[in-house]
Amino acid sequence: MAKELSSNPFIDVSVYLFFEDIADKQGVEGFTNYMIGQAKSLARSVPTEVYDTWEEFVEAAKNGDSVFSSFEKVDHPQGNCFVTKECPFTVGIKEYIKRLGDFSKVHMDATKHYNNTVQPSAAFSKCILHQTYRQEVANRITIEGKPLRYAQIATKGYTGDVVTPPSNWERVLLEKGGITQTEAYMLLRANDCLYLLYVDNMDFKK
């Protein structure tokens, strides 16, 4: 599903300008809520998936054959940890900067609003849409009769800045993922996103 995604600079840039127009009319909170609503709507539009085993799901996600990896290239380095090497919004971000310069301040204002009111995991406004989609689409996947769970560990923004949860959250997430903090930082050197996918009461598989 996510193997050959073409890009149109006109559309890429226009989408961000559309978001900025919403912010002008509805403010930062309206912008944030719109992004969340769009992600939920998109997730509701994809089919549900049922997997007999954890291994079957992992292979489908890695190969782009799962709805979870419809819009991104997913890899599974170890444990319950999954990564996205390059954010699917990277091209659009580069096209915006190339043609219009720095992003409007409203994008980071919305990011901060999301981190303060929803969860502290976004590095940029596009993360609001992307992480909400992951959360909602995971709810449409079952493995061995149980729902798939998703949790964000760390996010690297287009500036290279990394956003991680509070230390008490981070410890729990890393333990759940079966990796150390050092291993997590090493994964983020080569990837844009690090997150958990798991099923309750199921031992993680290597």
**Structural domains in the chain plus CATH codes:** 9-198 (3.30.1380)
Q: Position 110: which residue type? A: A
- Which parts of the chain have pLDDT scores under 70? 1-6, 202-206
- Return the pLDDT at 84: 97
Phi-psi region of 144 (alpha: psi -120 to 50; beta: other; left: phi over 0): left
pLDDT tens track for 21-55: 998 999 999 999 999 999 999 999 999 999 999 99
- Return the pLDDT at 150: 97
- Return the pLDDT at 1: 46
CB 128 within 8 A of CB 121: no
Chain centroid offset of residue 158 CA = 14
CB 73 within 8 A of CB 84: yes
Q: SS3 of 69, please?
A: helix
